[in-house]
Amino acid sequence: MAAYLLLLESGMGMDLPLKNIRPNIVQSIRAFSVAELQTAAEQLGQHFLYAKLASALTKQDVLDLLVQQFKLAANGAKNFDALHDSMTDAVHKAGPQTGFIVVLEQVPANAKFDKEGREQLLDIFRDAADYWGDRKIPFRCFYSFL
């Protein structure tokens, strides 16, 4: 099974939309559709986490939506540190992981969730990509702004 996943990961045997994307990265969704990313996750046997954040106005709204849409433990909504723990240590303790494709669609850009808030949010996912990369587990996060 591991060899099969490596073949899929490298794009051999199937023309995957992620074959030229580093396995641990946070980047704009520009060149991909959500459907393509979901299909890639299915083909790779990886977790697909999707959150549409368009209705969020504040940091707490963003946290609440992420917990709800990612189906995380409720304590993941307390603050950004709790979200980080939910995306890394808590999942790691749940058992072996095959990889993650995360989509943060329509991250708010307003006075209550400004550039600093957006960067803090993306930093959590960058840290998660590093965390999983250290464990040789692919973690790709794609985002778009509202």
Distance in angstroms (rounded) separating the CA atoms of residues 146 and 144: 7
Is 10 a domain residue? no
pLDDT at 21 over 70: yes
Is 58 a domain residue? yes
What pLDDT score was predicted for residue 117? 94
pLDDT tens readout for residues 76-107: 778 999 999 999 988 888 889 999 999 999 99
Question: Residue 108 in contact with residue 57, Cβ under 8 Å?
Answer: yes
Is 4 a domain residue? no
CATH number of the domain enclosing 81:
3.30.370.10
Structural domain span for residue 34? 24-145
pLDDT tens readout for residues 44-70: 999 999 999 999 999 999 999 999 999
Question: Residue 99 in contact with residue 49, Cβ under 8 Å?
Answer: no
Is 17 a domain residue? no
Q: Domain count of the chain?
A: 1
The pTM score is 0.86
